[in-house]
Structure 1
Amino acid sequence: MHHAKTNLSRLVDQAAGGEPFIITKAGKPLVKVVPIGQPTAAQIRRVDFMAGQFSSPESFDRMGGEEIEALFGMDK
């Protein structure tokens, strides 16, 4: 808490630049300072948000292999 009070202006500038920080008291987190408009964890879209919604063929890793090998001269 004391560090945050002493360096609040610098810490706020850093948070506004995208570096959030947490203020603690007696080693326990109290608040997290983040820039306004930064998405919350619930708003961030995860890569697997469509898991189970579609499938790919078993040969997916081999698709276009011959063309790729020809482009890089690996077919010799």
Structure 2
Amino acid sequence: MATYGVAEAKNNFTHLLDRVQEGESITITRHGKPIAELRPTLARKTPKLSPEEREAWYAAFRKRRDERPPLGISAVDLIRAMRDGDPE
């Protein structure tokens, strides 16, 4: 693991990010004490849904939405009440 002072890390930030992207971890220090660590993260890939799975997900979403009771107040009035601090 490489170690860089704050000023040096600032001057070489792009290079350090390239190294992190390649899998290396880098510690940044201030007055010789570690204060931060740059390290690679795992790529998060959202699983792709098939058209049938997507439609099932939307159908379940619509069902949950439609089962909720109405608020009894319009969206405009709700936002105004939230903005103005009305107790409604």
User: Which TM-score band applies after superposition, normalised by the shorter structure?
Assistant: 0.3 to 0.5
Q: TM-score, normalised by structure 1?
A: 0.47
Q: TM-score, normalised by structure 2?
A: 0.41
